[in-house]
Amino acid sequence: MNDFDFKHNNEDVETFLCIEAIKLKYGYNFSEYSRAHIKRRIKGRLVKSGLNNILELTHRLIEDEAFFRDVLLDFSINVTEMFRDPSFFKYLRENIIPILQSYPKINIWHAGCSSGEEVYSMAILLKECGLYDRCQIYATDFNQKIIEKAKDGIYSLEAIREYTKNYILAGGTRSFSDYYFAKYDNAILDLELKKRITFAEHNLVTDGSFGEMHLIICRNVLIYFNRTLQNRVNRLFLDSLIKGGYLCLGSKESLVYSDVFEKFDTVSEEFKLYRKHLKA
């Protein structure tokens, strides 16, 4: 049962029809996303586009693929920054990276990578720990447009000033300016950071597992899914991890009430970090 099964008013019906139209026309299934999230993003697009109601929006996105791409971008979760929650990255540096050092090759999956800031943060962390050349980082999102932005690795200098503060708090060991060069009002990240990163389109709702991962990071994505979809994605993560592999969720997320909780040990409740059982 999904969030759109009970339709109490016309707005709920229109929202349901919009989601069904997107699924039928373009193959993207948002029926198990949080209803509040979807309605909030649709209302925001109504304001931007000057349309009168959700039915008008639905008709337009069916007829106009470029408009649909804008709506798809609205549905993406793109709130991120480099070294977001610095204490989390410091914990990884001090407690998880030393364990990963025991593997000859390390696979890392950033699921729902958005515009790439956390992916590049991980690349920097691995470089400073001497592991980068042994790693393969897979950075995925369902939105091709946001993936292209992540590939570019270009961020505003204003944002970089905030990222620099985060980097220092996360235990960075160099000058953050070593990792980018400024051009006009933007910072372009060092190409060396991209060497071991593969950006790809992947939909957590519909696509399969990413096998043999040592570390999966999916922070602040599951909060936008209903319980059924959360369980499905958590099972996907379980199947994608090696035995003893690590899963990192966001600060408001947890495996505690999920169907796969008994397959993991809790490494850090504070940082929502779990380790797949060696016998799972």
Domain boundary among 53, 75, 97: 75
Contacts of residue 47, Cβ cutoff 8 Å, sequence gap at least 6: none
205 inside domain: yes
**Domain finish residue from 75, 109, 126:** 75
Residue 4 counted as domain residue: no
| 34 and 164 inside one domain | no
Taking the C-alpha atoms of residue 203 and residue 33, their distance in angstroms, rounded to an integer, is 13
Same domain, yes or no: 244 and 105: yes
Is 177 within the bounds of a domain? Answer: yes
Contact indicator for 247, 273 with CB cutoff of 8 Å: yes
In which band, very low, low, confident or very high, does the pLDDT at 6 lie, cut at 50, 70 and 90?
very low
**Is the same domain home to 71 and 91?**
no
Number of domains making up the chain: 2
This prediction has a pTM of 0.84
The domain of 230 spans 86-276
Tell me: do 61 and 108 sit in the same domain. no
Residues 171 and 234 grouped into a single domain: yes
Do 216 and 111 form a contact (C-beta atoms < 8 A)?
Answer: yes
Tens of pLDDT along 29-87? 888 788 888 888 899 899 989 998 999 999 999 999 989 888 887 887 666 899 999 99
Q: Are 75 and 30 in contact (CB under 8 A)?
A: yes
**pLDDT tens, residue by residue, 122-161:** 999 999 999 999 999 999 998 888 999 999 999 999 999 9
pLDDT, the chain, mean: 91
Q: What is the CATH number of the domain that holds 185?
A: 3.40.50.150
Largest CA distance in the chain: 58
* Residues 129 and 161 both lie in one domain: yes
